[in-house]
Amino acid sequence: MDKAQALYTFWSGFGLPAYDEQVVPKNAALPYITYETQTASLNEPLMLSASLWYSSESWSTVTAKANAIEAAIGGFAVVPVAGGKMLIHKGSPFTRRLGDPDDPKIKRIILSIQAEFLSA
What's the pLDDT tens digit per position in 10-69?
Answer: 999 999 999 999 999 999 999 999 999 987 777 788 999 999 999 999 999 999 999 999
Backbone angles phi, psi at 8, to 5 degrees: -60, -45
- Region 107-119: mean pLDDT is 94
Residues 6 or more apart from 5 whose CB is under 8 A from it? 81
Q: Model pTM?
A: 0.92
H-run or E-run covering 7: helix 3-11
What secondary structure does DSSP assign to 63-79, as a single string? Answer: HHHHHHHHHHHTT-EEE
Domain count for the chain:
1
Instruction: Show the domain range for 38.
Output: 3-119
In this structure, the number of other CB atoms found within 10 A of the CB of residue 104 comes to: 9
Give me the CATH number covering residue 69: 3.30.2000.20
- Region 80-84: mean pLDDT is 88
